[in-house]
Structure 1
Amino acid sequence: MTKASIDFSAYTGAELIPAAQNIHDKMTANAATFPGPPVAMATFQTLTDTADAALSKKASGATADVIGFNVARNDLEDALNELGNYVNIVAKGDATIVDKSGFPSYDTARTPDTSPPPAPQNLVLRQDDLSGSLVARCRPDRPRSVNEVQTNTTDPNNESGWKPTGMFSGGKAVLSGFTPGTTAWVRVRTCGLKGVMGAWSDPAKIMVV
C-alpha cells in the first residue's frame, strides 16, 4: 500500500515551495481524480505564492520578515497536511493515484526508508522544441520519486550559482526561460521521506538554442 507523505516539517523553505507548487500543478492537472480537495487549488496557489514571497523577504533578517515567513510556512504546511490526507483517502493505497497528486510517497508494506536517496544516474540534456527550453532526463534510484532540479548559468563549481528550477515527478523535466546562446548546467537530486534530500547527480551541460 502506498501513502502520500504529509509531513513537510523537515523541508527547508527553498525545498518546500517547489514541492508545494508541484503538488498544486499535478492535482490541478488531475482534477478529475481529485474532484473535491479540502483546500481549493486557487487558495493553495495563493498560500504557495505568499510563502514564496515571504521566503524572499526573510533574507533581510528582519524579525518581522522572519516571523512573516514562519506564519506563511505554517499555513502552507497545514494546507499540505489536509490535501495529503485527502489524497490518501481518495487513493486507498493505489500508488498510481498517489503519484498523480504530486505528493512524495512511501510504501507501508515495509519500514519507510528515511535515508538520503542515492544520486540520480545518467543525466542527459537535449534541446526542447521551443527556443530557450531544454529537456533533462535521468534515472532516479527510487521509482515514482519526486526530484529537485537546479540550474547554473555561470560556474558549476560555484555553489551559490546553482538556482532552484522546480520539482518534477519521475526522471524527466522540461526547463524553460533560458536566453538562447546561454550555456547551462543542470543537476538533479531525489526527495526522500521526512524532507531528507538525496545526493546531487553529476552536472550535465548544454548550450541552449
Structure 2
Amino acid sequence: MGKKVKVKCNFSRLDDPGLSSFGKGVVTSLTGNRFITEPYPEGVTQLGQVKATLEGFDNACLEARSRAKQSVALRKGLRVQFLKELHELADYVNIIAKGNIEILESSGFDYTKETSSQVKHQATYPDVALFQGVKRGGIVGKARKDPRARSCEFHSTTGDPSVEANWKHEAVFGQFKNMELDGLTPGQQYAFRMRWIMPEGPGPWTPPIFFMPT
C-alpha cells in the first residue's frame, strides 16, 4: 500500500497575492462543505473569522503599497495570523478526511498523491498561475504540463463559485505556457477553474482561482 494522502501545508511559501487567491479558494470550498461542517472544535478558527482575517490581509496588502512602516507591519502581522488559521484548518481537514480523496478535494487544499500503483495514472488538476495579459481585459495562464495531458480547459464565473450553474466555458488550450483569455471585463473580480483533458477523459477541477483583469 502507498502512503495515506493528506493536505499539503506548503502554502506559506506563496507570495501575498498567491496566498490571498489560495485562501479565497479554501474559504469558498469550506463554506457549506458537507463533509467539514461548522462549528469547528476548539483550536480551529471558525470560518467567519478566517474570512475576516483574509479581508483584513487583502486591505493591508493594498495599504502596504505606500511602503509606510506601519502598513507593512500590519500586512506582515495579518499574513502570519492568516497562515496560522489556514494551518489549523488543514490539520482539521486531515483529521476528518483520514485519507479520503473526495473529502480532501472538497476542502480547497492541495493534497499529497498516493504512491500506490493502483493510482499511478490518477488525474490531478493543473497547477496554474494567472497573470495580467497585454490586452486590456486579458489574462494569461501558465501551467506546468502533465506529461499525459492533451489539453487544458478553462471555466470562469463572476458569481458564486460554489454554484455549479454559475460556471461557463471559456476555452481549451493545447499548449500550457501562455494560455491567453481576452474579452473579460476590466476591474471585475472573476473566479477561474481549470482541468486537464486526459486520454481517458477530463480530470478534476482546480479549486477556484480569483483574479481581476485590468
Return the TM-score normalized by structure 2.
0.59
Asked whether the equivalents of residues 87 and 98 of structure 1 are also in contact (C-alpha less than 8 Å), the reply is yes
**Partner of residue 202, structure 1:** 178
Residues 6, 104 of structure 2: 8 Å contact kept: yes
Match of 2:158 among 162, 176, 182: 176
Judged with a 3 Å threshold, the aligned counterparts in structure 2 of structure 1 residues 105 and 172 are, in CA distance, closer, same or farther, namely farther
2:76 alignment partner, one of 70, 77, 80 = 70
**1:105 maps to amino acid:** Y
**Is structure 2 residue 24 aligned with structure 1 residue 21?**
yes
Quote the RMSD (CA, aligned, Å).
3.6
Letter in 1 for 2:24: Q
Residue 103 of structure 1 aligns with an amino acid whose one-letter code is F
> What letter is aligned with 1:17?
S
Change (3 A) 1:148 1:58: same
1:80 to 62, 75, 86: 86
For the Cα contact (< 8 Å) 2:9–2:87, is it kept in 1? Answer: yes
Structure 2 gaps of 5+ residues are 117-122, 142-151, 160-169, 186-214
Question: How far is 1:172 from its partner?
Answer: 4.3
**Matches of 1:68 and 1:207 in 2, distance apart?**
36
| Other-structure match for 1:59 | 65
Displacement after TM superposition at 1:51 (Å): 0.6
Change (3 A) 1:72 1:208: closer
For 1:10, the equivalent position in structure 2 comes to 13
The aligned counterpart of 1:33 is: 35
TM-score by length of 1: 0.60
Kindly report which structure 2 residues correspond to 1:76-115, keeping only aligned pairs within 5 A, or say none.
Answer: 76-107=82-113, 109=115
Task: Give % identity.
Answer: 19
Consecutive unaligned residues in structure 1, runs of 5 or more: 111-141, 165-169, 178-184, 189-199
Q: Relative to structure 1, is the Cα distance of residues 102 and 145 closer, same or farther in structure 2, using a 3 angstrom cutoff?
A: farther
Contact 1:22 1:102 (8 Å CA) reproduced = yes
Whichever residue aligns with residue 203 of structure 1, its letter is: M
> Which residue of the partner structure matches residue 125 of structure 1?
none
> Which structure has greater strand proportion?
1
**Amino acid aligned to 2:31:** T
From 108, 120, 133, give the equivalent of 1:152: 133
Change (3 A) 1:145 1:106: farther
What CA deviation, in whole Å up to 9, does each residue of 1:113-148 have, x standing for no partner? xxxxxxxxxxxxxxxxxxxxxxxxxxxxx6045644
